[in-house]
Amino acid sequence: MKKLRYYLIVFNLLFYISTYAQNQLKIDSLKQTLNTNLTPQNKVDVLNQLARLHRHTAPGQLAKYAHKALILSQKHNYSKGLAEAYANTAIEVSIKGDYPSAIELFNKTLKEARKANHLSGQAIAYKGLGVMHRRLGNKALSLQHYQKSLDIYISQKDTLGMASCYNNMANVYRSQGFYLKAIKFLQISIKLKKAIGYQRGVANSFDSLGSLYESQHNYLKAMEYYQRSLNIMKKVGSKRDLTVIYMNIGSLYEKTGHPLKATRLLDQALNLAKKLPSKHLYSETLYKSGLLALSQKQYPEAKQFFKKSLAVKINLKEETGIAENKIALARLAYIQKQYKLGLDYLTEAMNIGLNTQAPVVIKDAAKNLAKIHESQGSYKKAYQYHLLFKKMADSLYNTGIAKKTALLEANYQFEKEKDSIKLARVQERILFEADKKRRKSNQKATYIGLGLVSLLLLMFVIFYFDKQRSNRKLNRVNTSLQEQSHEIITQRDAIEKQNNVLKHANHQISQSILAAKMIQEAILPKPHKMDALFTDHFVLNRPRDVVSGDFYWVDQVNQQTVLILADCTGHGVPGAFMCMISYALFNQIIKLQQITNPAQILEHLRKELEQALESDNSQHHGGLDASVVNLQPSSATETNVTFAGAKLRLWYATHDDGKLATLPASRISIGMEYKKQHAFKTEQTTLPNGSMLFMSSDGYIDQNNAHDKRLGSQAFQSLLCKNWQKPLDSQRAILEQHLGEHMQNEKQRDDILVLGIKL
């Protein structure tokens, strides 16, 4: 047992170090950004991000950054930033247990979010109000706020937000005894979280399902979901998550008669909870530890746990928690024959249960009131409370609910199995097609072999008849064959030697190409750099061969962000060489020479490329097409967009009209010789924040299908226009799916590169 505790401590320490390191990298990056020359609005946004990152680890830092964001937002009348600052402050005071103040701050969040038309901020405010009112026992009001938050998330197609609301509403329904509705909402939440790969959220929903089945006394199913939650939380959960799951599993072990396992896990949960800022979670672990001590007849320890938990619950004004602790203290008073004290506790608990419409509290209070009145000889009152207990118990645990719960679980498992069968069938089909292709290849090789054998047999027959006709001729033929055989052997040895040389060369070339791929990937902008420069983005990059002739370049020079997408002549190794040369020239022109005007960048590139490739004195026709965009904030809400293109245009879309528009490119390729020297034309526009920019090489548009028909620019633009308001990950997935449906089994014709940028 000591060894197991040691392993648990080591695991939590390693997990905490890993999580802390990841968070610290983000925090350090944002602190560096904070020291740059930011606009007031951008500075507020960074401060709010820093506050959110300290939410679970350092409430003091959360309060510090939220306060700074609040002051700066008020100074510059920045409603969106002020809404988020109020929300962060509300979370900080709720961790301390000051729920009324948190409600006041969430209402301020809602007011500022409405001013800024900040829908996600409104959703956060409603969700926060739902959590606070649930803690205070106002279940109907809590559900109203959760529903408003859910409606906004649905309109915004925010999958994570929807999943969170469904999970929270399920917890309220469980506390009201509406188990079927709670199960349905939890299953919806799990499905949404799985769709976006949010494993920690899936684990939280599994934990909620475990609590629900535990409430119905289905301990086997409860343990199944708790263990599934724990398996995920060990990989991706926080210290708070682990505290909750250890507490729940420990409590379940207490109910199922495993006191040693219960003690180990509840001690672990209590030690973790003491170090966390959440008073609510600390009071829950105290209460569950008290129930364990009570079941083990450790009455002084049980009383101490319940008294501590009750004090925290009273401070937090958590009515349901207050009632639960008073019922527990009444059970202890009954055992110690302190009937009057027990009646006082239970009367208070019953009043709370009736006021907050908490059926479980009413049931437990009625059960214990019946026992005390029976012990005192008040059989009429005992009978009345027993009837109330029976009524509440039947409403919570009747056979019909159990059957419907089992049916819901069966349907859920059936849907999971259907998805697994579909996946298995797809995999089986892929294996079948691969095996079919292999068998065809083997069959073809067999036919060729038989043909060669037949040809050799025919030659031997001819030789045999020649031998019969003339021994002398046969001798000459034999002599000739011996000479030829010697020559063939010599040639064979030479061919084998050459083949080995070619294999070695091929291996070296393959290794060189793989090294080139690694180098090419290394020079492309890293995701964290793109995240720092843009609100959001996506990259669809599909080289035709191992290395690509398409690439993109981005950097910030003099508070101007320059973004380039280039399509070099050719693909594979030739395209990659041109890509490396061009990338180096862009670094020289923009970063060293400080040239940020798109047309001038292209003009300088044309001259530098001519010198690099010696175009004036050779027949080399290497070059590239490119689109270059310069982004510079013109105000807090708008961005100046300056563009020039060499055959590659720029698409953009705004919330003003919702349509896709284009900035045209010059009909000139860089590196090509023209009879008349043409200048690159500059295009300019100003776009509001939230607009989308799209850049693409010609690989996507020119890709053919099985009928040799191009996908075409019209279809590409239609895809962008229909989907530009969706999350950027979804846009990328839609483009990939449409490309796959168009190509079917056709080979990729050219390198493909598409960029999407949100201002």
pLDDT tens profile 493-502:
777 888 777 7
Burial of 389 (0-12, 13-18, 19+ CB in 10 A): buried
In a domain, 257, yes or no: no
Q: Give the model's pLDDT for residue 363.
A: 86
Burial of 614 (0-12, 13-18, 19+ CB in 10 A): exposed
Residue located via tokens 């089945």:
213
Number of domains present in the structure of the chain? 3
Q: Which residue blocks in 216-318 are alpha helix, DSSP H? A: 219-236, 239-255, 259-275, 279-295, 299-316
Q: Which residues contact 61 (CB under 8 A, 6 or more apart)?
A: 50, 51, 54
In a domain, 538, yes or no: yes
Burial of 558 (0-12, 13-18, 19+ CB in 10 A): exposed
Domain shared by 501 and 628, yes or no:
no
**523, 547, 563: which is the final residue of a domain?**
523
| Angstrom distance (rounded) from CA 186 to CA 206 | 8
Residue 647's closest CA among 673, 621, 669?
Answer: 669
Domain shared by 623 and 510, yes or no:
no
**Residues 244/208, Cβ–Cβ less than 8 Å:** no
Domain shared by 636 and 532, yes or no:
yes
Q: In the numeric block, which tokens belong to residue 288?
A: 């569950």
Domain shared by 715 and 603, yes or no:
yes
* SS3 label, residue 66: helix
Angle between helices 279-295 and 259-275 (to 10 degrees): 160
- Determine the number of helices (DSSP H) and then strands (DSSP E) in the chain: 27, 10
Q: Give the model's pLDDT for residue 4.
A: 42
Sign of dihedral through CA atoms 365, 371, 376, 382? positive
| Angstrom distance (rounded) from CA 611 to CA 676 | 19
Sign of dihedral through CA atoms 57, 98, 202, 286? positive
Exposure of 56 in the CB half-sphere (CA atoms within 13 A): 14
Domain shared by 572 and 645, yes or no:
yes
Give the global pTM.
0.46
Q: Give the model's pLDDT for residue 534.
A: 95
Q: Chain centroid to CA 619: how far?
A: 50
Q: Give the model's pLDDT for residue 651.
A: 98
In a domain, 424, yes or no: no
Residue 73, amino acid: S
**473, 491, 523: which is the final residue of a domain?**
523
| Angstrom distance (rounded) from CA 588 to CA 605 | 10
Residue located via tokens 């937002």:
73
In a domain, 360, yes or no: no
Q: In the numeric block, which tokens belong to residue 417?
A: 């199995």
In a domain, 250, yes or no: no
Q: Give the model's pLDDT for residue 435.
A: 58
Q: Which residue blocks in 37-157 are alpha helix, DSSP H? A: 40-53, 59-75, 79-95, 99-115, 119-135, 139-156
Residue 384, amino acid: Q
| Angstrom distance (rounded) from CA 106 to CA 684 | 42
Q: Which residues contact 694 (CB under 8 A, 6 or more apart)?
A: 650, 651, 652, 653, 720, 724, 754, 755, 756, 757
Residue 105 is part of which domain span?
33-157
Q: Which residues contact 477 (CB under 8 A, 6 or more apart)?
A: 463, 466
Contacts made by residues 86-93, CB under 8 angstroms, sequence distance 24+? 86/112, 87/121, 87/124, 87/125, 87/128, 88/48, 88/51, 88/52, 88/55, 88/62, 89/63, 90/128, 91/55, 91/62, 91/128, 92/59, 92/62, 92/63, 92/66
Q: Which residues contact 444 (CB under 8 A, 6 or more apart)?
A: none
**Residues 265/228, Cβ–Cβ less than 8 Å:** no
In a domain, 239, yes or no: no
Domain shared by 500 and 549, yes or no:
no
In a domain, 238, yes or no: no
Domain shared by 487 and 559, yes or no:
no
**130, 157, 184: which is the final residue of a domain?**
157
Domain shared by 492 and 636, yes or no:
no
Residue 500: other Cβ atoms inside 10 A = 10
Positions in the chain whose pLDDT score sits under 50: 1-20, 399-410, 412-428, 430-431, 434, 615-616, 618
Domain shared by 752 and 627, yes or no:
yes
Q: Give the model's pLDDT for residue 561.
A: 97
| Angstrom distance (rounded) from CA 252 to CA 214 | 8
| Angstrom distance (rounded) from CA 699 to CA 571 | 10
* SS3 label, residue 125: helix
Q: In the numeric block, which tokens belong to residue 664?
A: 């045209």
Task: Indicate the pairing of strand 660-663 with strand 638-646.
Answer: unpaired
In a domain, 677, yes or no: yes
Residue 397: other Cβ atoms inside 10 A = 16
Q: Give the model's pLDDT for residue 1.
A: 44
Domain shared by 592 and 714, yes or no:
yes
| Angstrom distance (rounded) from CA 270 to CA 256 | 20
Domain shared by 731 and 591, yes or no:
yes
Residue 563's closest CA among 645, 624, 625, 627?
Answer: 627
Domain shared by 589 and 465, yes or no:
no
Q: Chain centroid to CA 417: how far?
A: 24
